[in-house]
Structure 1
Amino acid sequence: MQTVEMKQPAMDIPSGEELISRARALIPILRQRAVLGDERRSLPQETINDLQAAGLFRILQPKRYGGYELSPKVFYDVVMALAEGDMSVGWVYSVVAVHAWQMALFDDRAAQEVWSKDSSTLISSSYMPTGRATPVEGGFLFSGRWGYSSGCDHCEWVFLGGLVQQPEGQPIDARTWLIPRKDYEIVDTWHTAGLKGTGSKDIVINEVFVPEHRTHKMYDGFTCNSPGNQWNTAALYRMPFGQVFSRAVSTAAIGALRGMLDCFLETAKVRVNVMGAKTNEDPSVQLIIAETANAIDELSLVLKRNFDALEGYAERGEAPPIEERVKYRFQASFAPERISLLASRLFKAAGGAAVFTTNPYGRFLADINVGRQHAANQFQMFGANWAKVQMGQQSLDFFL
């Protein structure tokens, strides 16, 4: 099969440090635009343009299609940096840019359709398994409705979750389906308490033909053996799909907490309450600052330790053991819960001024709480599964 080669010379690929620096340079303007994104319930196009110009969407993209093929650790550092400015930006960036990684797992014909004319083309998603596919010659007829497709206004394709209609008694065939913009409708349902700027609207499809090569089996993502691996051979693309994706919907919260703490520190240094007490001399305030800073450090280090291990397995051509996967899965899901509790304490410590929209505390808190609601961040079920595995029982989760 003929393939498209768009590989960049190594000298044109920025270092991870440079890309993280570019993301951090955007923090001030992202804070300024955050109110506008909330009002529009979608990110300003200028923000998407800035992310594109900085090359940030290319971090996990295959070199064959103009990408950088860098470590996921660089990617998540960029997510956290952007979320310091505006969690909606960090969230949209995370869940859109990670799709370049999954695109590398598809049959190469799919990647050609998306990137052969424009390697900056973006893909949104909703992995809710609400789609239903009927097998037909050459592919499937696909229908369904999905919620929460973050950043869909800025994307020309979408990844959607669904099941193939199977005879009774056959195993479940769950896949991701790649659909072009002409074949789906965006329905504006995004009126929310937080993450307003993500524009996470509904996607509707009715009896659209999808060729076989534009599907990716979830089982292949679980076994780290996908069709695209014969073209995209870097170890990066041999990591479990569930591990990479779950961190894409929890990591922005770490950056948002850092942003909230930074704003709090600026105020706390000089704030005096109505009783004349200095905030920076309050032991309870000092303690929440220390606990929050420590949690950010701890959560970041655990994330990087886990991906050091996952990268090691991939480089050796090994599948990570289930015992480690279920632990990592819980740790990804539990981060937003811890963060939401710390954010609530920071909000309270900021006093009455925190309630005004002229200050960012309320937006940070609302965004963190809404991000915690994602299905992948429901830590209770993942914690129970990890405990069962530690006690010698079989894992009931295959999205690992």
Structure 2
Amino acid sequence: MTVAAHPVTADLGAVPRTAELRAVASRCADRVERERRLPAEVVEALRTAGFARHLVPARWGGEEGTFSALLGAVAEVGESCASTAWNAAVHAILGRMVSHLPEKGRQEIWGEGPDGLFAGSIAPAGEVRAVDGGHRLSGQWPFASGVDHASWTLLGAMAPGPEYRFFMVPRTHYRVLDTWTNVGLSGTGSNAVALDDVFVPGYLSFAQAELMAGTAAEKATCLRVPFKLVNGLTFVAPVLGAARGALRSSAARLAVKTEITGGAARANPAVHTALARAGAEIDAAQLLLERAAAAADSGTAGALERARAPRDFAFAAELLGAAVDRLFRIGGARSQTTADPVQRAWRDVNCAAGHAVLQFGSVAGVFTTHLMDGVHKDV
């Protein structure tokens, strides 16, 4: 088929587009948190920056971009607003997930362009009945980040069989429930959606097993990566940015702070130790994430990389959490004011680190089993 030309073009490796979104996000950060969702001007800047199309197939007008570029762009935005960065990452990865739909579904989703913003609640929820031509869905699905401005939402559910499947549902077919009141990442608008006996045709559904295996019909490398190689990257990239922003803010304040003793904070060895350790933890996390992104981009990642990536995502989240904890403490009472960027980063990073895919204990066994099995075979 012929795809019409689309006016929005963006290379997420290029600073100007990402810089524009970062500037808007920084200006609106207080409003984002206060309103618990992204305002229209942030949404439009996010769309224009090209996140939605970054992992969309080229034949539908997308970029077929790299995970390395996505990591860098999301982290850059996260330095100013972790909630905006979180939504940017979610919209990008959902474009990659939708590539698993049958051809007719992809045509319906992207036939008018690759810049639609999608939300997702992919953990199994609700109720599903198989009917002629598809399924009927009812119930509630929580934590659909960015759902207020999304045109479609991808929902996970257990279909008869049982079979874990995903269903793409247009905005006109569900209600958004105002449920997101979390203390961190409060501007992500991760509200719930409710469906009442909604019909979803078969061409707007695919099996979770296809996503996990990376068996999309589209041929681009970014679309055929086993999901565990990249899923955690979506949630830890904003955390990397938030931690970097906290380090920058802390250093700027401590450089001019006068301590209760009358001495300069910049002369206090404890300040140097805290900043240096936090900086090292952030750099170490970034190196782990860059390695994981490069492995996904290579198209040749094997069993080791599939076992190691989830471990690295979770460990990076732990490192970043330790860094912002350190910065929060060294900042004293000033870092605890509600308008301070360090306390916001502290809340955002710690809440993000609680995401299921970033729990170290739940991913450690996959890596250690691979390690021990490999050692056993070598003995």
State the TM bucket, normalised to the shorter chain: over 0.9
1 CA distance for matches of 2:166 and 2:228?
A: 13
Counterpart amino acid of residue 387 in structure 1: T
Count of residues paired in the alignment: 374
Aligned counterparts, 1:241-390, within 5 A: 241-312=227-298, 314=299, 320-390=301-371
Counterpart in the other structure of 1:32: 27
Which AA in structure 2 matches 1:379?
Answer: F
Q: Does the aligned pair in 2 maintain the 1:7–1:63 contact within 8 Å?
A: no
8 A contact 2:228–2:309 mirrored in 1? no
Which residue in 2 is equivalent to 1:211? 201
Aligned 1:51-70 pairs, distance under 5 A: 51-70=46-65
Task: Decide which of 167, 175, 178 is 2:168's aligned counterpart.
Answer: 178
Q: How far 1:129 sits from its partner (Å)? A: 0.9
Q: Is the Cα contact below 8 Å between 2:175 and 2:195 reproduced in 1? A: yes
Residue 396 (structure 1) aligns with: none
Q: Distance in 2 between matches of 1:387 and 1:357?
A: 42
SS at match of 1:249: helix
How far does residue 200 in structure 1 lie from its aligned partner after superposition?
A: 0.5
**In 2: Cα distance, 1:221 partner to 1:252 partner:** 23
Letter in 2 for 1:292: A
Residue 26 and residue 155 in structure 1: after superposition, are their counterparts in 2 closer, same or farther (change >3 A)? closer
In structure 2, the CA distance between the partners of 1:27 and 1:182, relative to structure 1 (3 Å rule), is: closer
What SS does structure 2 have at the residue aligned with 1:102?
helix
Change beyond 3 A, Cα 1:104–1:307 = same
Return closer, same or farther for 1:157/1:377 CA change in 2, 3 Å cut-off. same
Partner SS for 1:163: strand
Give me the whole-angstrom Cα distance separating, in 1, the residues matched to 2:125 and 2:352: 21
Relative to structure 2, which stretch is displaced further, 84-93 or 302-311? 302-311
> Which ranges of structure 1 fall in alignment gaps of 5 or more residues?
167-171, 394-400
Matching residue within 129, 132, 136 for 1:134: 129
What residue number does 1:398 align with? none
3-state SS, counterpart of residue 130 of structure 1: coil
Task: Report whether the alignment pairs 1:17 with 2:17.
Answer: no
Cα contact 1:8–1:67 (8 A) shared by 2: no
C-alpha contact (below 8 Å) 2:119/2:147 kept by paired residues:
yes
State the SS of the aligned residue for 1:114.
helix
**Distance in 2, Cα, partners of 1:183 & 1:243:** 32
- Rate the CA distance shift 1:266–1:13 in 2: closer, same or farther, 3 A: same
- Please report how far the alpha carbon of residue 7 of structure 1 lies from its aligned counterpart in structure 2 after TM superposition: 6.4
Residue 156 of structure 1: how far off its partner (Å): 1.0
What's the TM-score, normalizing by structure 1? Answer: 0.88
Backbone CA RMSD of aligned residues: 2.0
Report how far residue 40 of structure 1 moved. Answer: 0.6
